[in-house]
Amino acid sequence: MIVREIIPIMANLPKKGKAIILTGPRQVGKTTILKTQFDQNAAVLWLDGDDATIRQRLANAGTSFLKSLVANHSIVVIDEAQRIQDIGLIGKQLIDQIPGIELYITGSSALEISGMTSEPMTGRKWSLQLYPLSFREMVKHHGLIDEVSQVKQRLLYGYYPEIVVENGHKERRLRELSESYLYKDIYAVENIKKSDKFERLLKLLAYQIGQQVSYNELAVSAGLDVSTVERYIDMLEKAFVVFRVPSFQRNKRNELKKSRKIYFTDNGIRNAVIEQWAPVEMRSDAGALWENWIMSERRKLINNEQAKIDMYFWRTIAQQEVDLIEVSSNTLQAVEIKWNTHKKFRVSAAFTNAYPEATTQCITPNNYESFLLEI
C-alpha cells in the first residue's frame, strides 16, 4: 500500500471540538484513507452522502435525532458530504452537542463543501486537501531510482492512484476518470449539460499551460462571455481540475498587476482533455508538460508539508519573466523551470536587480529531485 502523507498530519491534529474536513478530487483516496484508519472499528458511524437514504434521513435533522443516530459511536465519518443538505449546520450540531466526538467530513467538490461549512463551522474545523499521489510519496514507496525512471510516464499519465497502481489501459482509464468523475460535481452544481463551449474552454486551458491567460481571449475563442469564462474557471479550480497562479508584484511600475497562469492539478487529466499520448521526446509541448508537472508537484509538497508558502509567477511589461516565485514569511525564491538540459538558463537579471534579497535556482530534468522532496 502506498502511504499517503496526509495520514500523520490528520492523526496529529487535536480533535477536541474540531471536525476534520478532507477535500480533494474524486478518486484520489479520501474514502480509502478513512476506511484504512477505521476498518473494523465498531466505534465508527459511517454516513455516505452518495446514499439517497442517508441524505433523506439527515435532511433537516435536529439535535435529538443526531444524538440518537450517533448513539454510542465515538467517531463519525460523513463521506461525500457535498451531497448532504445543510452539512455545515449538521457538523456544528455534532461538534457542539456531542462532547468528545471525532468528526471527519470528506468532500470531492469545494464548489459546495467550502460554502456549506465555512460559516456554520467557523472555529470548529481543520481543513485538509488530498491530491493525487505525489513524487515524494512514490519515492518513499519504492525508492528514488525507481521513481526517477518513471518520470516520463508521470508527465504523460500523472499520479491518480488507479493510474499508478493498475497496469495497462492508462489512456482509457484517464478518459473515464475525466469524463465520469472530475466534472460530475461541476455539472451537478451548475446544471451544465455537456456543453461544447465548456469543453472548448477546457481544451484551450490545456493548450495554454505555462502561458499567461487572457479571459477576454478565452471568451472569444470559446464563444462565451468573459463573466462565464471566469465562472467556469473558478468552478474548475474548486473541483480540483486546475489551479491558478497569480502574478507577483510589489507596486513596481513595470510589473504586470493582474495576470495569471493556469495549470492542471494532474498531467494525465490534462493530456486526456486534448487526447495526446505521444512520448515526451516526440512532443512539441514537452516543456509545458514539464512545467505543469513541476508546478503541481511543488504545490503538493507545500500542501503535504503544511507550509505557508505562496506561489506566483513574475513578468514585466517588457516580457521579462520568471516561472515561479515562492513567497514565505521570511524568504523570496525565484525559480526557472526548463526542460532543455543543453542550454544554460538563469533567472532574469531584471528580477534579481529589483529583488536582490531573493534566492534563485533553475530546475531541469538533471536536478529536480531535491526541489520535489524538501521545502
Question: By three-state DSSP, how is residue 187 classified?
Answer: helix
pLDDT band for position 193 (cuts 50, 70, 90): low
Write the pLDDT tens digit of every residue in 203-215: 999 999 999 999 9
Percent of the chain residues past pLDDT 70, beyond the cut? 94
Nearest-angstrom CA–CA distance, 225 and 274? 23
pTM for this structure? 0.94
CATH 1.10.10.60 fits 135-372, yes or no: no
- Each domain of the chain, given as residue ranges in start order, spans 6-129, 135-372
Q: What are phi and psi of 348, to 5 degrees?
A: -50, 130
Instruction: Give the model's pLDDT for residue 26.
Output: 87
Q: What is the rounded average pLDDT for all residues in the chain?
A: 91
Give first-to-last CA distance, the chain, whole Å.
25
Write the pLDDT tens digit of every residue in 315-326: 988 889 999 999
Q: For residue 300, how many other CB atoms are within 10 A of its CB?
A: 23
Cα dist. 297→32, 151, 236, 279 in Å?
22, 12, 19, 20
- DSSP assignment of 275-338 equals T----GGG-TTHHHHHHHHHHHHHHHHHHHTT---EEEEEEBTT--EEEEEEE-SS-EEEEEE-
Instruction: Give the model's pLDDT for residue 256.
Output: 72
Q: For residue 329, how many other CB atoms are within 10 A of its CB?
A: 6
Which fold is adopted by the domain 6-129?
Rossmann fold (3.40.50)
Nearest-angstrom CA–CA distance, 213 and 231? 15
Write the pLDDT tens digit of every residue in 303-353: 999 999 999 999 988 889 999 999 999 899 999 999 999 888 889 999 999
Sequence-distant (≥ 6) Cβ neighbours of residue 229 within 8 angstroms:
201, 215, 218, 219, 222
Least confident among 104-108, 277-281, 294-298? 104-108
pLDDT band for position 112 (cuts 50, 70, 90): low
